[in-house]
């Protein structure tokens, strides 16, 4: 990631030099730094609110009930993971927090789930099917309430920041379905190649 950011910075600088836009680049750097800090602080409030609600839901037993509801889906997506294991608990919590649109709050849960899966699957140099599925669930997450996007839209002055919810649902369902099917398909293909 550091290399990628470094390349982007160098590329931006070179484009500014070739287009004779160094003064505009300097001004953008100064003004956008302040806006980045303001945006980060405003997002912190939203993340803290939803993380707190997630904590309340966990302590009140709502998360356990949701885990029971999503148990059949989790068993389909992760057939090799014990439903009572720590890994499955983290996976379910990660899925639920993504479902509520808490992408940033679900990251620590995803990391813990990935660590547990790495231990269960004895993954060393390459990712296991379970690890790939978890990555897919996080990347193409189904979101009922995209809190982060709504907060960003509200901060940019949108009069109706939540009007994107139906579009988010449609796109999330389509991408999640297609990516899960792709993972399952490629998993079957690789199993057949190993058996040969």
pLDDT band at 103 (very low <50, low <70, confident <90, very high): low
47: exposed, middle or buried (Cβ count in 10 Å: 0-12, 13-18, 19+):
middle
pLDDT of residue 117: 87
Q: How confident is the model at residue 194 (pLDDT cuts 50, 70, 90)?
A: low
Give pLDDT tens digits for 131-159.
Answer: 888 888 888 777 777 777 887 788 788 88
Query: How do the domains of the chain map onto residue ranges?
Result: 30-195
User: Which two tokens mark 151?
Assistant: 């907060």
Write out pLDDT tens, residues 49-97: 767 776 787 788 776 777 778 888 888 888 888 877 878 888 888 887 7
* Alpha-carbon distances of 42 from 48, 153, 155, 157, rounded to whole Å: 10, 11, 8, 13
Per-residue pLDDT at 195 exceeds 70: no
Q: Could you tell me what percent of the chain has a pLDDT over 70? A: 91
Task: Retrieve residue 177's tokens.
Answer: 């379905």
pLDDT band at 13 (very low <50, low <70, confident <90, very high): confident
pLDDT at position 81, please? 84
* DSSP letter for each residue of 22-79: HHHHHHHHHHHHHHHHHHHHHHHHHHHHHHHHHHHHHHHTHHHHHHHHHHHHHHHH-T
């Amino acid at each position: 990631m550091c290399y990628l950011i470094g390349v982007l910075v160098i590329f931006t600088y070179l484009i500014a030099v070739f287009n004779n836009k160094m003064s505009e680049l300097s001004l953008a750097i100064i003004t956008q730094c302040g806006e980045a800090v303001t945006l980060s602080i405003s997002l912190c409030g939203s993340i803290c609110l939803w993380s707190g609600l997630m904590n309340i839901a966990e302590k009140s037993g709502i998360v356990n009930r949701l885990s029971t509801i999503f148990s059949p889906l989790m068993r389909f997506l992760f057939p090799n993971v014990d439903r009572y294991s720590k890994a499955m608990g983290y996976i379910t919590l990660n899925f639920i927090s993504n479902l509520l649109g808490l992408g940033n709050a679900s990251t620590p849960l995803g990391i813990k789930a990935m660590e547990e899966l790495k231990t269960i699957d004895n993954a060393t140099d390459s990712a296991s099917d379970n690890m790939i599925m978890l990555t897919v669930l996080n990347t193409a997450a189904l979101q009922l309430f995209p809190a982060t996007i709504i907060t960003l839209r509200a901060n940019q002055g949108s009069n109706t920041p939540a009007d994107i919810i139906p579009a988010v649902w449609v796109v999330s369902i389509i991408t999640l379905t297609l990516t899960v099917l792709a993972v399952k398909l490629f998993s079957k293909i690789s199993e057949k190649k190993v058996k040969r």
